């Protein structure tokens, strides 16, 4: 008697492997692999094909304005002026950053090159259609970076956004470890909110009124 079930099992496994491979090659994880490979193999063209620097910078425009003219420390006219200047210089800034990325990736003296699979293994990917939320984490150091990826029409997946708070925290750690520069990452003091509703009292707060009885 032929063991027909063995051939069915092999066909099932082959089909599953095919669809798993197809899903990987057409998903955000493949783009992460390409980014890691580009860094490892010193291929900036491949890196820039999967990282939309201009769009990432546009997403950080408000953060840049807050760094230059913090809320509560600068009036609205100054902040509007800074916002206009940042917008005007966004394109040249993108070109400068791309040039810097190319220089860093091409650096022949760069050591400690990561594996091409580093980003893939470090990533937690939640996909929703042509958009994906990616969380890169390093449990040993307690670090994370949240990013947004999007599938271009007839093109590859690209990183199009990065979480501002994660970027500031990682940049602060890098500057402190590399150059000994400590960056104050505390949020700027906020102006008095006269029209907004007051925050609910904290249970057992001794500085305010005691919580109402149920």
> Each residue of 197-211: pLDDT tens digit?
334 444 444 444 444
What is the rounded average pLDDT for all residues in the chain?
77
Q: Out of 116-120, 154-158, 185-189, 201-205, pick the least confident.
A: 201-205
pLDDT at 138 over 90: no
| Interval 133-157 mean pLDDT | 90
Q: What are phi and psi of 113, to 5 degrees?
A: -70, 130
pTM for this predicted structure? 0.68
pLDDT of residue 148: 96
pLDDT of residue 17: 60
pLDDT at 24 over 70: no
pLDDT of residue 151: 95
Q: pLDDT for 54-102, tens place per residue?
A: 999 888 777 777 766 777 777 778 778 877 777 777 778 788 889 999 9
Give domain limits for the chain. Answer: 8-179
On whether the CB atoms of residues 163 and 145 are closer than 8 A, the answer is yes
pLDDT band of 11, cuts 50, 70, 90 = low
On whether the CB atoms of residues 134 and 151 are closer than 8 A, the answer is no
Q: How many percent of the chain have pLDDT more than 70?
A: 69
pLDDT of residue 9: 65
pLDDT of residue 87: 72
- Count CA atoms within 13 Å of residue 121 on its CB side: 7
Q: Greater confidence, 5 or 42?
A: 42
């Amino acid at each position: 008697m032929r063991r027909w079930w063995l051939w069915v099992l092999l066909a099932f496994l082959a089909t599953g492997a095919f669809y798993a491979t197809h899903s990987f090659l057409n998903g955000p994880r493949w783009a992460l692999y390409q980014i890691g490979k580009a860094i490892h193999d010193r291929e900036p063209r491949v890196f820039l094909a999967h990282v939309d620097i201009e769009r990432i910078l546009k997403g950080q425009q408000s953060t840049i304005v807050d760094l230059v003219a913090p809320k509560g420390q600068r009036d609205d006219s100054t902040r509007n002026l800074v916002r206009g200047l940042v917008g005007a210089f966004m394109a040249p800034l993108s070109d400068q950053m791309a040039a810097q990325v190319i220089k860093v990736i091409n650096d022949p003296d760069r050591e400690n090159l990561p594996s091409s699979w580093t980003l893939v293994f470090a990533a937690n990917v939640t996909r929703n259609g042509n958009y994906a939320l990616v969380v890169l984490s390093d449990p040993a150091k307690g670090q994370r970076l949240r990013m947004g990826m999007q599938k271009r029409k007839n093109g590859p997946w690209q990183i199009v956004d990065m979480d501002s708070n994660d970027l500031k925290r990682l940049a602060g750690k890098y500057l402190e470890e590399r150059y000994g520069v400590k960056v104050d990452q505390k949020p700027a003091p906020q102006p008095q909110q006269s029209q907004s509703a007051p925050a609910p009292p904290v249970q057992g707060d001794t500085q305010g009124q005691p919580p109402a009885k149920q």
